[in-house]
Structure 1
Protein backbone atom coordinates (compact mmCIF):
# COMPACT_ATOMS: atom_id res chain seq x y z
CA UNK A 1 0.00 0.00 0.00
CA UNK A 2 1.49 3.34 -0.95
CA UNK A 3 1.77 6.17 1.56
CA UNK A 4 -1.23 8.15 0.27
CA UNK A 5 -3.55 5.13 0.50
CA UNK A 6 -2.22 4.31 3.97
CA UNK A 7 -2.94 7.84 5.17
CA UNK A 8 -6.43 7.74 3.63
CA UNK A 9 -7.13 4.41 5.33
CA UNK A 10 -5.99 5.74 8.72
CA UNK A 11 -8.13 8.85 8.18
CA UNK A 12 -11.13 6.61 7.51
CA UNK A 13 -10.63 4.95 10.91
CA UNK A 14 -10.75 8.18 12.93
CA UNK A 15 -13.85 8.13 15.10
CA UNK A 16 -14.33 4.37 14.70
CA UNK A 17 -14.13 1.85 17.53
CA UNK A 18 -10.90 -0.14 17.66
CA UNK A 19 -9.92 -3.13 19.77
CA UNK A 20 -6.19 -2.93 20.52
CA UNK A 21 -4.39 -5.95 22.00
CA UNK A 22 -1.24 -5.32 24.08
CA UNK A 23 1.78 -7.51 24.83
CA UNK A 24 0.68 -7.91 28.47
CA UNK A 25 -2.64 -9.47 27.26
CA UNK A 26 -4.74 -6.39 28.05
CA UNK A 27 -7.30 -5.32 25.46
CA UNK A 28 -8.29 -1.69 24.97
CA UNK A 29 -11.58 -0.85 23.26
CA UNK A 30 -12.12 2.79 22.40
CA UNK A 31 -12.64 5.46 19.76
CA UNK A 32 -9.59 5.94 17.52
CA UNK A 33 -8.34 9.55 17.66
CA UNK A 34 -4.86 9.50 16.12
CA UNK A 35 -1.53 7.74 15.67
CA UNK A 36 2.05 8.82 15.06
CA UNK A 37 5.22 7.61 13.34
CA UNK A 38 6.10 5.45 16.38
CA UNK A 39 2.77 3.60 15.93
CA UNK A 40 1.43 4.94 19.26
CA UNK A 41 -2.36 5.00 19.24
CA UNK A 42 -4.64 7.37 21.12
CA UNK A 43 -8.09 6.07 22.02
CA UNK A 44 -10.92 8.02 23.69
CA UNK A 45 -13.79 6.68 25.81
CA UNK A 46 -11.71 3.56 26.35
CA UNK A 47 -12.41 0.42 28.35
CA UNK A 48 -9.55 -1.82 29.45
CA UNK A 49 -10.19 -5.57 29.62
CA UNK A 50 -8.01 -8.06 31.49
CA UNK A 51 -8.08 -11.83 31.61
CA UNK A 52 -8.89 -13.23 35.05
CA UNK A 53 -5.99 -13.87 37.38
CA UNK A 54 -4.96 -17.46 38.12
CA UNK A 55 -6.30 -17.04 41.67
CA UNK A 56 -9.71 -15.94 40.32
CA UNK A 57 -9.83 -19.01 38.08
CA UNK A 58 -8.80 -21.23 40.99
CA UNK A 59 -11.47 -19.67 43.22
CA UNK A 60 -14.12 -20.22 40.54
CA UNK A 61 -13.02 -23.82 40.13
CA UNK A 62 -13.14 -24.62 43.84
CA UNK A 63 -16.22 -22.53 44.58
CA UNK A 64 -18.54 -25.53 44.28
CA UNK A 65 -20.40 -26.91 47.29
CA UNK A 66 -19.98 -30.51 46.18
CA UNK A 67 -16.51 -31.84 47.25
CA UNK A 68 -16.68 -34.55 44.59
CA UNK A 69 -17.15 -31.89 41.91
CA UNK A 70 -14.20 -29.88 43.27
CA UNK A 71 -11.90 -32.87 42.85
CA UNK A 72 -13.05 -33.25 39.24
CA UNK A 73 -12.17 -29.68 38.28
CA UNK A 74 -9.70 -30.78 35.60
CA UNK A 75 -12.47 -32.65 33.76
CA UNK A 76 -14.81 -29.67 33.45
CA UNK A 77 -14.69 -26.27 31.79
CA UNK A 78 -14.65 -23.25 34.07
CA UNK A 79 -15.92 -19.91 32.78
CA UNK A 80 -14.67 -16.73 34.41
CA UNK A 81 -15.41 -13.26 33.03
CA UNK A 82 -12.73 -10.80 32.03
CA UNK A 83 -12.41 -7.80 34.31
CA UNK A 84 -13.00 -4.38 32.83
CA UNK A 85 -12.70 -0.75 33.81
CA UNK A 86 -13.33 2.57 32.10
CA UNK A 87 -10.10 4.52 31.64
CA UNK A 88 -11.18 7.29 29.23
CA UNK A 89 -8.36 8.75 27.11
CA UNK A 90 -5.35 6.46 26.70
CA UNK A 91 -2.13 6.27 24.71
CA UNK A 92 -1.19 2.70 23.78
CA UNK A 93 2.53 2.60 22.97
CA UNK A 94 3.18 1.18 19.51
CA UNK A 95 5.89 -1.15 20.77
CA UNK A 96 3.32 -2.91 22.98
CA UNK A 97 0.60 -3.39 20.33
CA UNK A 98 0.21 -6.97 19.09
CA UNK A 99 -3.06 -6.71 17.16
CA UNK A 100 -5.60 -4.07 16.14
CA UNK A 101 -9.18 -4.92 15.20
CA UNK A 102 -11.91 -2.71 13.85
CA UNK A 103 -15.02 -3.25 15.93
CA UNK A 104 -18.21 -2.98 13.93
CA UNK A 105 -21.74 -2.96 15.26
CA UNK A 106 -24.44 -4.94 13.45
CA UNK A 107 -25.83 -1.62 12.19
CA UNK A 108 -22.44 -0.68 10.66
CA UNK A 109 -22.19 -4.10 8.99
CA UNK A 110 -25.67 -3.74 7.46
CA UNK A 111 -24.83 -0.23 6.20
CA UNK A 112 -21.59 -1.50 4.62
CA UNK A 113 -23.45 -4.40 2.94
CA UNK A 114 -26.11 -2.01 1.61
CA UNK A 115 -23.41 0.12 -0.03
CA UNK A 116 -22.05 -2.94 -1.86
CA UNK A 117 -25.40 -3.58 -3.57
Structure 2
Protein backbone atom coordinates (compact mmCIF):
# COMPACT_ATOMS: atom_id res chain seq x y z
CA UNK A 1 0.00 0.00 0.00
CA UNK A 2 2.78 2.45 0.81
CA UNK A 3 4.15 2.07 -2.73
CA UNK A 4 0.79 3.05 -4.17
CA UNK A 5 0.69 6.23 -2.10
CA UNK A 6 4.15 7.23 -3.34
CA UNK A 7 3.06 6.67 -6.95
CA UNK A 8 -0.06 8.75 -6.40
CA UNK A 9 2.02 11.59 -4.96
CA UNK A 10 4.31 11.48 -8.01
CA UNK A 11 1.28 11.52 -10.30
CA UNK A 12 -0.23 14.44 -8.38
CA UNK A 13 3.09 16.31 -8.61
CA UNK A 14 3.25 15.73 -12.39
CA UNK A 15 -0.36 16.88 -12.78
CA UNK A 16 0.35 19.98 -10.71
CA UNK A 17 3.38 20.85 -12.85
CA UNK A 18 1.31 20.32 -15.99
CA UNK A 19 -1.41 22.62 -14.68
CA UNK A 20 1.18 25.30 -13.90
CA UNK A 21 2.58 25.04 -17.42
CA UNK A 22 -0.89 25.29 -18.97
CA UNK A 23 -1.70 28.28 -16.75
CA UNK A 24 1.47 30.03 -17.93
CA UNK A 25 0.28 29.65 -21.54
CA UNK A 26 -3.14 31.23 -20.93
CA UNK A 27 -3.80 34.39 -22.98
CA UNK A 28 -0.62 33.90 -25.04
CA UNK A 29 -0.53 33.66 -28.81
CA UNK A 30 -0.30 29.99 -29.81
CA UNK A 31 0.44 28.27 -33.10
CA UNK A 32 -1.39 24.97 -33.60
CA UNK A 33 -0.42 22.66 -36.49
CA UNK A 34 -3.15 20.24 -37.55
CA UNK A 35 -3.17 16.81 -39.20
CA UNK A 36 -4.62 18.23 -42.45
CA UNK A 37 -1.71 20.67 -42.89
CA UNK A 38 -3.48 23.81 -41.67
CA UNK A 39 -1.92 26.09 -39.08
CA UNK A 40 -4.08 28.05 -36.66
CA UNK A 41 -2.79 31.04 -34.69
CA UNK A 42 -4.78 32.57 -31.87
CA UNK A 43 -4.90 33.35 -28.17
CA UNK A 44 -4.92 30.22 -26.00
CA UNK A 45 -8.07 30.34 -23.86
CA UNK A 46 -8.56 26.81 -22.50
CA UNK A 47 -8.28 23.06 -22.98
CA UNK A 48 -9.98 19.96 -21.57
CA UNK A 49 -9.23 16.34 -20.72
CA UNK A 50 -9.67 15.27 -24.35
CA UNK A 51 -6.97 17.79 -25.36
CA UNK A 52 -9.43 19.95 -27.30
CA UNK A 53 -8.11 23.51 -27.47
CA UNK A 54 -10.02 26.81 -27.64
CA UNK A 55 -8.31 29.73 -29.41
CA UNK A 56 -9.66 33.28 -29.51
CA UNK A 57 -9.00 35.72 -32.35
CA UNK A 58 -7.97 32.73 -34.42
CA UNK A 59 -6.53 32.93 -37.95
CA UNK A 60 -6.20 29.97 -40.31
CA UNK A 61 -3.27 29.49 -42.69
CA UNK A 62 -3.52 26.81 -45.36
CA UNK A 63 0.16 26.61 -46.29
CA UNK A 64 2.99 26.09 -43.80
CA UNK A 65 4.29 29.40 -42.42
CA UNK A 66 7.86 29.33 -43.71
CA UNK A 67 10.24 31.81 -45.26
CA UNK A 68 9.25 35.31 -46.25
CA UNK A 69 6.05 34.28 -48.04
CA UNK A 70 3.05 36.10 -46.60
CA UNK A 71 -0.19 34.21 -46.97
CA UNK A 72 -3.44 36.05 -46.31
CA UNK A 73 -5.10 34.26 -43.36
CA UNK A 74 -8.74 33.37 -43.05
CA UNK A 75 -10.20 34.93 -39.90
CA UNK A 76 -12.03 32.36 -37.76
CA UNK A 77 -12.49 34.25 -34.49
CA UNK A 78 -13.25 31.82 -31.65
CA UNK A 79 -12.28 28.28 -32.63
CA UNK A 80 -12.34 24.86 -30.99
CA UNK A 81 -9.68 22.47 -32.27
CA UNK A 82 -10.36 18.78 -31.56
CA UNK A 83 -7.43 17.22 -29.72
CA UNK A 84 -7.13 14.29 -32.11
CA UNK A 85 -6.44 16.71 -35.01
CA UNK A 86 -3.55 18.51 -33.26
CA UNK A 87 -0.02 17.66 -34.38
CA UNK A 88 1.85 20.31 -32.39
CA UNK A 89 1.31 23.40 -30.25
CA UNK A 90 3.84 26.16 -29.63
CA UNK A 91 3.94 29.72 -28.40
CA UNK A 92 3.87 31.96 -31.49
CA UNK A 93 6.96 34.10 -31.00
CA UNK A 94 6.40 36.08 -34.22
CA UNK A 95 3.14 37.46 -32.80
CA UNK A 96 4.87 38.32 -29.52
CA UNK A 97 7.58 40.27 -31.35
CA UNK A 98 5.02 42.12 -33.47
CA UNK A 99 3.04 43.20 -30.39
CA UNK A 100 6.19 44.52 -28.66
CA UNK A 101 6.59 47.15 -31.38
CA UNK A 102 3.00 48.41 -31.19
Scaled by the length of structure 2, the TM-score of the pair is 0.72
Task: Please tell me whether residue 89 in structure 1 is matched to residue 44 in structure 2.
Answer: no
1:51 to 46, 56, 63: 63
Task: Give the aligned CA root-mean-square deviation in angstroms.
Answer: 2.5
Within 2, Cα distance between the matches of 1:12 and 1:44? 16
The superposition leaves residues 37-71 of structure 1 with CA deviations (integer Å, 9 ceiling, x where unpaired) of: 0000000000000029xxxxxxxxxxxxxxxxxxx
Greater relative contact order, per chain length (Cα 8 Å cut-off, separation 6+): 1
Scaled by the length of structure 1, the TM-score of the pair is 0.63
Q: Name the stretch that deviates more: 99-108 or 81-90.
A: 99-108
Within 2, Cα distance between the matches of 1:106 and 1:25? 25
Within 2, Cα distance between the matches of 1:43 and 1:19? 10
Gaps of 5+ in 2: 1-12
Within 1, Cα distance between the matches of 2:79 and 2:35? 16
2:44 to 11, 32, 41: 32
Gaps of 5+ in 1: 53-78, 110-117
Runs of 4 or more, structure 1, over 3 Å off, are 79-83, 106-109
**Structure index of larger Rg:** 1
Query: How has the CA–CA distance of structure 1 residues 45 and 98 changed in structure 2, closer, same or farther, with 3 Å as cutoff?
Result: same
